[in-house]
Amino acid sequence: MAADAALRTCFARHTAARPCPVSAQDDGPLSAEDKRLSAALMRVNHVGEVCAQALYASQAFGTDDPTLKAQFAHAAQEETDHLAWTEQRLNELGGRTSWLNPLWYGGAFAIGLLAAKAGDQVSLGFVVETERQVEHHLNGHMSRLPVGDERSRAIVAQMRDDEVAHADAALAAGGAPLPAPVKGLMRLAAKVMTTVAHRV
């Protein structure tokens, strides 16, 4: 089942349960360079959603608490929406997903399983810190997207709001604060992933 989920995440086309977010403003004119930048940023966001699927799958697998399993499954469904939205936008921009998605998925699954085996409070704390860092990352993309790309900006804004909700839910469920060195390592790993995925 885990292998099937990994293959579907990395290679299948995804269908969102919710409509793709739209902006109240129309897109402005986008140059070829604008489209390349938007596509690179959306590819990075798509990779983040691939990793989110792996993290939630591994953490659901690693807990014996049925309530937490359901919470992780709900969050994963919303992340599937994000996968579908970013894929759709990449296609519209003439971009592509990362060639390294299987690698990103495998690494994230291993990290999520390690967090889960450390206990539910640590696992939830890992979700909190991950989603807070993703929120910060998406805010950065909001400012980096080309001025006329309102469609991408609307997608990123909804993704950010969902990630905030996931972090809040994990905190309310008993997520424990992570040590500063762990947070630093997470930021470093995220920096490597976003830098590579921007191009590959």
pLDDT at 6 over 90: no
Residue type, 89: R
Per-residue pLDDT band at 8 (split at 50, 70, 90) = confident
Average pLDDT, the chain: 94
Q: Is residue 25 part of a domain?
A: no
Q: Which candidate, 169, 151, 16, 145, places its Cα nearest to that of 79?
A: 16
What pLDDT score was predicted for residue 4? 79
Distance (Å, whole) CA 129 – CA 170: 10
CATH code where residue 184 lies: 1.20.1260.10
Distance (Å, whole) CA 51 – CA 193: 10
Please give the residue range of the domain that contains residue 57. 32-199
- The count of structural domains within the chain is 1
Q: Is residue 14 part of a domain?
A: no
Place of tokens 């990449």: 90
Per-residue pLDDT band at 2 (split at 50, 70, 90) = confident
Per-residue pLDDT band at 36 (split at 50, 70, 90) = very high
Q: Is residue 17 part of a domain?
A: no
Q: Is residue 175 part of a domain?
A: yes
| Whether this model's pTM surpasses 0.85 | yes
List CB contacts of 72: < 8 A, sequence separation 6 or more: 56, 57, 59, 60, 63
Distance (Å, whole) CA 44 – CA 121: 29
Q: Is residue 86 part of a domain?
A: yes
Q: Centre a 10 Å sphere on the Cβ of residue 99 and count the other Cβ atoms it contains.
A: 10
Q: Is residue 180 part of a domain?
A: yes
Place of tokens 């929406």: 81
Q: Is residue 169 part of a domain?
A: yes
- Rounded mean pLDDT of 125-147? 95
pLDDT tens by residue, 38-56: 999 999 999 999 999 999 9
Q: Is residue 66 part of a domain?
A: yes
